[in-house]
Amino acid sequence: MKTVYDFSVKDRKGVDVSLKEYSGEVILIVNTATQCGFTPQYNELEKLYEQYHSKGLVILDFPCNQFGQQAPGTDDSIHEFCKLNFGTEFPRFKKVKVNGPDASPLFLFLQQQKGFAGWDMEHPIAHILDDMLSKADPDYREKPDIKWNFTKFLVDRNGVVTDRFEPTEKIENIARRVEALL
């Protein structure tokens, strides 16, 4: 059975990193953007990381400029922005594409493992995203592709994808699932 450990990614300096380096840890993989309505989630992610990192959680940050061009800049400028504005300490990787013919193989695998999880319609941005995506593709909910920035995939200590969280998901729900896997 294939796991996330079968993939290598590039760190923000372009060096290959095997995800086997994270074997035995609980991994939260996130596609991010620095100019998105969800960008303040960096604060929540950093708090989650601080709370659980010593127990075995690692968060892997993959900037992505595919959604509204909301991750402009270089890998280094994105890293500096996140450190300066949100104090993030978790690993950040090279900017990736998460959908389409040039998508990262890791993100294609993640989508195959867990399809679209649905919006939390109580979130103020959920209706905007649903309306926008429905107009572009009435069947978008049935497709596993990543819908927007800050989609999160949770991976257990064996490299198996256990959960997908859309950007509207409450951090408390993610924290509960992280705790269960730790």
Look up the CATH number of the domain holding residue 71: 3.40.30.10
Low-confidence spans in the chain with pLDDT less than 50: none
- Residues 18-34, buried b or exposed e (16+ Cβ, 10 A)? ebeebeebbbbbbbbbb
Domain membership flag for residue 150: yes
Domain containing 64 equals 26-181
Catalytic residue among 36, 57, 96, 174: 36
What's the pLDDT at 25? 98
| Helix axes 75-86 and 41-52, enclosed angle (nearest 10) | 80
Residue 8, in any domain of the structure: no
Q: What is the 8-class DSSP label of residue 92? A: B
pLDDT confidence of residue 120: 96
* Total tally of structural domains belonging to the chain: 1
Q: Could you tell me the pTM of the whole model?
A: 0.96
In a domain, 113, yes or no: yes
Instruction: Look at residue 12 and tell me if it is in a domain.
Output: no
Does the residue 13 lie in any domain? no
- pLDDT value for 71: 86
Q: Classify residue 129: in a domain, yes or no.
A: yes
Residue 5: inside a domain, yes or no? no
Residue-level pLDDT at 133: 96
Q: What is the pLDDT of residue 30?
A: 98
Whole-angstrom Cα distance, residue 20 to residue 169? 28
Question: 105 lies in a domain?
Answer: yes
Does the annotation mark 36 as catalytic? yes
Distance CA 132, CA 126 (A): 10
